[in-house]
């Protein structure tokens, strides 16, 4: 075990669960955090909610349709590029199966997982469900199944978690801080990293000198 044993780092991670760059950042950050934890460090992560499209439909729509509207003729090239990047991180992206949906309920579940000590587990499960499995992460039944997969009890089932008004307030608080894009990682007494950075960048950030 290294000489850094016993050090603690607090991290704030702002993301959206349908944002591919957030998924990449989360995956790389988790690998870096695992290395620090293996050396005896305590990495405390607090997730903050952000919606890249607060007006996204609750019932969802095929992500391919959204891509066509946003990227037009460049959509196929963008998908190919991002799929390749993700593959190098060990991720399988199935854009043609993904359901673009409002993430409010998913953020409520993430915050519930945070209170129950399962934030990182439920975050990974939500990302994988959306990007790799074609699951609708705006559907209450689907969210209940995903929660059960990682040992989280939803609020609707009596679990300790935030009510919708608390989630709305958290989303507003992030916006009021001037955050307009994700992912964003802020390390207490350390750097702030925006965008999907490398695993090495996160590893360095998790060793603040302050």
Q: What confidence tens digit (pLDDT) does each residue in 31-45 have?
A: 999 999 999 999 999
pTM (2 decimals)?
A: 0.94
Residue 64 has pLDDT above 70, yes or no: yes
Chain-centroid distance, C-alpha 100: 15
Q: Higher-confidence residue: 103 or 189? A: 103
Residue 186 lies inside a defined structural domain of this protein = yes
Helix (H) or strand (E) holding 49: strand 42-49
Residue 210 lies inside a defined structural domain of this protein = no
Residue whose token pair is 């999907």: 196
Residue 37 lies inside a defined structural domain of this protein = yes
Quick one: tokens of 193? 């990293």
pLDDT above 90 covers what percent of the chain? 94
Residue 183 has pLDDT above 60, yes or no: yes
Find the helix packing angle between 63-71 and 75-88, rounded to 10°: 120
Residue 3 lies inside a defined structural domain of this protein = no
Q: Which backbone phi and psi does 143 adopt, to 5 degrees?
A: -60, -40
Q: What is the dihedral sign for C-alpha 154, 160, 164, 167?
A: negative
Number of separate domains in the chain = 1
- Residues 143-152: tens digit of each pLDDT: 999 999 999 9
* Residue 35 backbone class (left: φ over 0; alpha: ψ -120 to 50; beta: rest): alpha
Residue 4 lies inside a defined structural domain of this protein = no
Residue 1 lies inside a defined structural domain of this protein = no
Helix (H) or strand (E) holding 8: strand 8-15
Residue 3 has pLDDT above 50, yes or no: no
CATH number for 172: 3.40.30.10
Domain interval for residue 187? 9-205
pLDDT averaged over every residue in the chain: 95
Residue 156 lies inside a defined structural domain of this protein = yes
Residue 45 lies inside a defined structural domain of this protein = yes
- Give burial (CB, 10 Å; 0-12/13-18/19+) of 142: buried
Alpha-carbon distance of 93 to 84, in angstroms, equals 9
Point out which residues pair with 10 in neighbouring strands: 44
**Mean pLDDT within 198-202:** 98
- Residues 7-38: tens digit of each pLDDT: 899 999 999 999 999 999 999 999 999 999 99
Tell me if residue 159 falls in helix, strand or coil. Answer: coil
Helix (H) or strand (E) holding 9: strand 8-15
- pLDDT category of residue 207 using cuts at 50, 70 and 90: confident
Alpha-carbon distance of 58 to 95, in angstroms, equals 18
């Amino acid at each position: 075990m290294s000489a850094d044993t016993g050090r603690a780092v607090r991290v704030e991670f702002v993301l959206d669960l349908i944002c591919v760059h957030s998924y990449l950042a989360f995956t790389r950050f988790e690998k870096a955090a695992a290395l620090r934890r293996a050396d005896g460090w305590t990495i405390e992560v607090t997730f903050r909610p952000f919606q890249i499209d607060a007006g996204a439909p609750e019932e969802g729509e095929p992500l391919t349709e959204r891509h066509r509207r946003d990227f037009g003729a460049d959509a196929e090239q963008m998908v190919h590029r991002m799929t390749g990047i993700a593959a190098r991180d060990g991720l399988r992206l199935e854009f043609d199966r993904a359901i673009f949906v409002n993430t409010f309920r998913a953020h409520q579940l993430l915050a519930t997982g945070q209170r129950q000590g399962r934030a990182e587990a439920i975050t990974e499960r939500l990302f994988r469900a959306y990007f790799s499995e074609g699951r609708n992460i705006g559907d209450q039944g689907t969210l209940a199944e995903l929660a059960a997969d990682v040992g989280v009890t939803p609020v609707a089932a009596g679990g300790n978690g935030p009510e919708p008004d608390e989630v709305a307030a958290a989303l507003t608080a992030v916006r009021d801080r001037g955050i307009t894009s994700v992912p964003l990682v802020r390390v207490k007494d350390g750097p702030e990293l925006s965008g999907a950075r490398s695993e090495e960048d996160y590893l360095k950030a998790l060793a603040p000198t302050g």
